[in-house]
Structure 1
Amino acid sequence: MKDRVLLAIDMQNDFVTGTLGNREAAGIIPAIADKVRNHVTNGIPVFFTRDTHDENYMETQEGRLLPVAHCKTGTDGWQIVPGLENFVQDQQGGNVFNKPTFGSTYLPAWIHEKLDGSPKTIELCGVCTDICVISNAMILKAAFPETEIVVYRDLCAGVTPGSHERALEAMKACQITVK
């Protein structure tokens, strides 16, 4: 088992330069790439989540409430952004977790299996702070109550700067470490 893991949440083209992208999301890529490179160099596992939708997305609750087609399986918008894509191991048994909605209750079991146990620290970065990052951070905190969940403020971007800050404050209130 590894004591620590870095989880890059939804660093996909559609959230950075595509249909739901913004300049804040594009601006965090170099710093995330540095963090990922450092972790890989030091033997710390790095995992990626990938928002994953199919043709029926608009018929889902999420699709009805966020009616913007995005992250359709196999499209360019679904792919991990340039600058991080070289760290992705996409084959079966790789380091990518495809999730069909904001947060996935299956993510903790996947991490537990990958690490052969519960880590002492799970670090998060990525997008969108106020949707997918907070959803997954809360799920991970509930599943691993004795694991420190760390969210890197400057390695996340929200839909807006204000919603980014509100999400960080909500996570702090739930005993998630914001650095």
Structure 2
Amino acid sequence: MKHLIVVDMQNDFVSGSLGSKAAEAIVPAVCEKIKRYKAEGGKIAMTLDTHFKDYLETPEGKKLPVEHCIKGTEGWQPAAQVAEAIDGCAEVFEKSTFGSVELAKYLSETAKAGDEIELCGLCTDICVVSNALLIKAFCPECEVIVDAKACAGVTEESHRAALVTMASCQCRIDNF
């Protein structure tokens, strides 16, 4: 079985308060990947970075004092093209931190040895790497894959460094 994990493809990370041209540029690749997985009968899960009005008082908010992905706001919603591509066909995991233990546990219960678990989305150097390493720990017999061209980092340098880190941890990096 193949599993696709779409990480934090939300308005605030694509075009909003923490958006970038690099993030906008991967939207078509992510949407194409979603459509392909749906057509081939793969399983799709999506993470949503989820914060609340007190974000700036949280430990993360003190280190990154930019309000983003406040639950219920437009910035928290998946980017329109991504939401359209998914069209309700994904397990959704809200998370208040970089990696989702809930997602990793879900995969450990649903994925079987030899399954492929592919990640795409934002940001390579924060949430993608965190989720990839959690998944690798919870599902050591699965192949964890990251598509470099369907991910973007805060900077190109940190994107590449995260890809190298994931490769060092035995994740397969495609299109690097």
Normalising by the smaller structure, the TM-score range is over 0.9
Partner residue, 2:11: 13
How far off is 1:121 after superposition?
1.2
What SS does structure 1 have at the residue aligned with 2:131?
Answer: helix
Q: Equivalents in 1 of 2:171, 2:125: separation in Å?
A: 14
SS of the residue corresponding to residue 83 of structure 1 reads helix
- Residue of structure 1 in register with 2:144 after alignment: 149
* RMSD between aligned residues: 1.4
Which residue does the alignment assign to 2:96?
Answer: 100
Q: TM-score, normalised by structure 2?
A: 0.93
Shift of 1:56: 1.9
Letter in 2 for 1:89: G
1:109 matches 2:113: no
Q: Percent identity?
A: 45
Whole-Å Cα distance in 2 between the matches of residues 108 and 95 of structure 1? 12
| Amino acid corresponding to residue 173 of structure 2 in structure 1 | V
Q: Which runs of 5+ in 1 are unaligned?
A: none
Equivalent residues of 2:108, 2:139 under 8 A apart: no
Q: Report which of the two has the higher share of helix.
A: 2
Whichever residue aligns with residue 148 of structure 1, its letter is E
Q: Which residue of 2 aligns with 1:37?
A: 35
Q: 1:169 aligns with which of 158, 164, 170?
A: 164
Instruction: For structure 2, list consecutive stretches of 5 or more residues without a partner in the other structure.
Output: none
* Structure 2 match to 1:134: 129
Q: Check the 8 A contact 1:36/1:46 in 2, yes or no.
A: yes
Give the conservation status (yes or no) of the 8 Å contact 1:19–1:68. yes
What is the alpha-carbon distance in structure 2 between the residues aligned to residue 171 and residue 135 of structure 1?
9
Decide which moves more: 8-17 or 97-106. 97-106
Task: For residue 89 of structure 1, report the CA deviation from its aligned partner.
Answer: 2.4
Q: How many positions carry a matched residue from both structures? A: 172
Deviates more, 1:36-45 or 1:79-88: 79-88
Q: Distance in 1 between matches of 2:52 and 2:149?
A: 31
The normalised TM-score by structure 1 is 0.91
Instruction: Give 1:82 deviation, angstroms.
Output: 1.5
Q: Is the 1:88–1:95 contact (alpha carbons within 8 Å) kept by the matching residues of 2?
A: no
